[in-house]
Structure 1
Amino acid sequence: MPLPRLRLTRDASHGPLDGAWWPRCDALELELPALIGSLDPSVGTVTRVTVGTAAWPDAPQKVMAPGHVIEVVRTDRAAEAHAITVDCGTVGRWELLVIPPDEPAGAAAWLLTAASDPGNPLSAPRLLALAESGLDGQDTWESEGGSGVR
């Protein structure tokens, strides 16, 4: 299975996101095991993920990962519409922007970088809106506290 297209914040995140994930398709049961397998095992076992029903309308309630089952919680909260929350029990959690599988490579690369910037102040929906504007949102990104990395 190919490695997931994933970028995490190197140090502690102070923003709404801890990185971004660009799945190859919208079948969570196919994509999630690779995502989970790429995370550092020292953070513990992923026990649950929370996904937005808008992005993952057919998400199963459980997904098999190597050696365990992951509970999938679906939510209608707007903040979760383009994100996935990965919970590792009591050890930690990540809030990741989910880049749509059909996103052009240039926009996806920008989103992977922006969402993993520890100074990113923007939510998943806001970052996607900037990407959809043709990346002309650089001034908005910087005015809202981003470092300006592309």
Structure 2
Amino acid sequence: MTTTLSLHPPSARLRLGEQSFHDGSARRIDGAWWPRSYDLTAELPGLLAGLPHRWGHISSVLVNGAMWSLSGDGMLIEDERVHLRRTDLPRAEHTICLLAPGYGRWDLLVVPPTATEEEAEQLMETATVDAGQVGHTEMTRFGRRDASGDQLGDSGARLSAHDQQP
């Protein structure tokens, strides 16, 4: 099933790192993205519209299958087909991988939609300045909130003020 989206997507909350190349060492994070939800069909058009033209046409997107809601295996964005793929690899839990044939691959840290502005800013800064050295602990600590806004721990249980890390 293919979804067609275009027109005026909301602007992406996106920060890209200074360098988008890799030296053969561990894979770097190329930037950070703070979506408004985990609905990929709603969020992806804004993200792709915010990317630099030098990245080319993103033809394939790889996301964590447990985290994102999406229907079908692709969508049309501005009359271009974008293939959507899922992975269950733990190392991809908080990232989105963008592929553009002939241009390259870019990995973006995904800031949880429920993160506060302060949390998102801190994560985005760390991801772009420290070449993506944001650990799993920081990602699970930030943005995990229930419907009332209370912070949740790794198990999904509410954290008391005593349990929360600064």
Distance in 2 separating the partners of 1:116 and 1:5: 13
- Aligned mate of 2:49, from 34, 37, 58: 37
Which residue of structure 1 lines up, in the alignment, with residue 139 of structure 2?
128
In the other structure, the counterpart of 1:53 is 65
CA change 1:134–1:6 in 2 (3 A) is farther
Structure with higher RCO (Cα < 8 A, 6+ apart) = 1
Contact in 1 for aligned 2:17/2:131 (Cα 8 Å): no
Aligned residues with identical type, % of pairs: 30
Residue of structure 2 equivalent to 1:12: 20
Structure 1 residue 106 corresponds to structure 2 residue 114? no
Larger radius of gyration: 2
Maintained 8 Å contact 2:31/2:107: yes
Q: Is the 8 A contact 2:13 2:34 kept in 1?
A: yes
TM-score by length of 2: 0.71
Structure 1, unpaired ranges of 5+: 137-150
CA distance in structure 2 between the aligned counterparts of 1:37 and 1:29, rounded to whole angstroms: 13
Q: TM-score, normalised by structure 1?
A: 0.78
Gaps of 5+ in 2: 1-8, 144-162
How far off its partner does 1:10 sit?
A: 1.5
Give the deviation of 1:120 after TM superposition.
Answer: 4.0
CA-to-partner distance for each residue in 1:22-80, whole Å, 9 max, x for gaps?
Answer: 11111100110111111112221101010001211445310221120100110010011
Report which of the two has the higher share of helix: 1
For residue 62 of structure 1, what is the aligned residue in structure 2? 74
Change (3 A) 1:32 1:76: same
Identify if the C-alpha distance between structure 1 residues 40 and 82 changes in structure 2 by more than 3 Å, giving closer, same or farther: same
Number of residue-to-residue matches in the alignment: 135
Instruction: Single out whichever of 35-44 and 12-21 deviates more from structure 2.
Output: 12-21
Q: Does the 8 A contact of 2:34 with 2:112 survive in 1?
A: yes
Quote the residue 1:142 is aligned against: none
Moved beyond 4 Å, runs of 4+: 132-135
RMSD: 2.3
